[in-house]
Amino acid sequence: MTSAFYNKPSYWFASCYSFMYYAAGSFVFSFYAIWLSKEIGLTAKHTGIIYSFNYFVSLIIMIVYGVYQDKLVLKKQLIWFQSIIITLAAPALIYVYEPLLKHSFYIGVIFGSFFLGFGWVAGMGLIDSYCEKISRAFGFEFGQCRTWGCIAYAVGTFIAGILISLNPHLNFWAASGIGICFMLLNLNFKPDLSQSSQAVFKNKNKLSFNEIISVFTLKKFWIFVIYVLGTYSLYNIYDQQLFPVYFTQQFNDINDGYRLYGILNSFQVFLEAGVMFCVPFVVNRVGAKNALIFAAFISASRIFLTGHVNSIAIISIIKLMHCLEISTILVSVFKYIDINFNARLSATVFLIGYQVAGSVGVILFSTLVGDFYDTTGAATTFNNLGLVVLGFMIFAIFFLNSDKKTKEINKK
């Protein structure tokens, strides 16, 4: 009889990895833009340069992380590297990054893009893929451990909001403190793959370069990338670039908009934790492909509805619907990768096919969408963007591999 997930030590290790990592991330990043503008005194243009460099450098790091972690399986070299980065958060950000941004801006930008890229911008995908490997190796659902990451980010953001009003540097020291705990956790986690329920984790043969490269020759890989570009990346532009501005513009006093948006953001993350815990059971029932189609439908609906409603209450509900989309797509992507690709290449496919593709989509389309928003207005932009995502949802219906068909092919 299979023991319940909460009775498995590996579940609690994976949950603690997720909890500590996202707690540290909340202290570093939840008020990152405010720190850059208010404390460092950077203009919006300079902040944009920093974000562009951060994401560009992270694209390269994601590729390295994905390929190397698949070779390591559950060995912890990269996780040790992560723990060092987290622990060094305060010294690096306070005594190196901040002075450089003030006195040698572009050197600071380069330093920060690598430090933050290795630690968080690309590191997020690494930690998620590592926890997903643990979940598959020891027989529990990834969403059940990732839930703790959502909770940690929500709680961390709340605490970070208090600390930044006292001294912004306290947030970075909090992240470093968590980094020490992360090191202790990593020291105590000793995965025994001989106990794994999955044969793929007992495979002693090392992945070859040809095996890794072979994934890029597969038609189904590029179909998956097209889905990500047309849904996840466009949705991110809507959610991060357009929606916050549109939402706060609905208020006579923009500060009221900021306050309500902050409250909704915190509430949304807690909802996301609950959905993240439950969604694996739904995905297992309906299948990964259908769940990805549902996630695209939620994305298209949110975007399209935003252009047709004026009520702040309804727009707030649309904001909270984010918890359905992001939780469903994250769990479904891992399920889809597990079913359709070599299970030993899960980190490579996730970090390159999902994370890199999504970031490239944002880089390619964000300026175009922003110009369209400025020229035509919010309603027209949201209508057209929603229709584009709906089109890619229809693409997914016809071209993504169904779970049943893939399993039958694998059996043969």
Determine the 3-state secondary structure of 409 from DSSP.
helix
Considering the domain architecture, whether residues 304 and 378 belong to the same structural domain is answered as: yes
Considering the domain architecture, whether residues 200 and 276 belong to the same structural domain is answered as: no
Q: Are 124 and 25 in contact (CB under 8 A)?
A: yes
At 407, is the pLDDT very low, low, confident or very high (cuts 50, 70, 90)? Answer: low
Return the top range by mean pLDDT from 146-160, 188-202, 364-378: 146-160
**Dihedral-angle region of residue 203 (phi above 0 means left; psi in -120 to 50 means alpha; beta otherwise):** beta
At 412, is the pLDDT very low, low, confident or very high (cuts 50, 70, 90)? Answer: very low
Considering the domain architecture, whether residues 92 and 216 belong to the same structural domain is answered as: no
Considering the domain architecture, whether residues 237 and 169 belong to the same structural domain is answered as: no
What percent of the chain shows pLDDT beyond 70? 95
Residue ranges making up the domain that contains 359: 211-412
Among the listed residues 371, 299, 293, 393, the one whose alpha carbon sits nearest the alpha carbon of residue 333: 293
Considering the domain architecture, whether residues 171 and 218 belong to the same structural domain is answered as: no
Among residues 164, 190, 206, which one ends one of the domains? 206
Q: What is the pTM of this model?
A: 0.87
**Secondary element (H or E) of residue 113:** helix 105-116
Per-residue pLDDT at 4? 81
Per-residue pLDDT at 50? 87
Q: Are 253 and 318 in contact (CB under 8 A)?
A: no
201-205, 229-233, 340-344: which range is least confident on average?
Answer: 201-205
Among residues 206, 225, 244, which one ends one of the domains? 206
Per-residue pLDDT at 267? 87
Q: Tally the domains of the chain.
A: 2
Q: Are 36 and 47 in contact (CB under 8 A)?
A: yes
Considering the domain architecture, whether residues 49 and 194 belong to the same structural domain is answered as: yes
Considering the domain architecture, whether residues 159 and 275 belong to the same structural domain is answered as: no
Considering the domain architecture, whether residues 269 and 165 belong to the same structural domain is answered as: no
**What's the CA gap between 201 and 10, in Å, rounded?**
14
Mean local confidence (pLDDT), 273-298? 94
pLDDT tens profile 2-55: 568 888 899 999 999 999 999 999 999 888 888 888 888 888 778 878 888 888
249-258, 261-270, 400-409: which range is least confident on average?
Answer: 400-409
Among residues 156, 173, 206, which one ends one of the domains? 206
Q: The domain spanning residue 310 has which CATH number?
A: 1.20.1250.20
For residue 285, what are the contacts with CB-CB under 8 A and spacing of at least 6? Answer: none
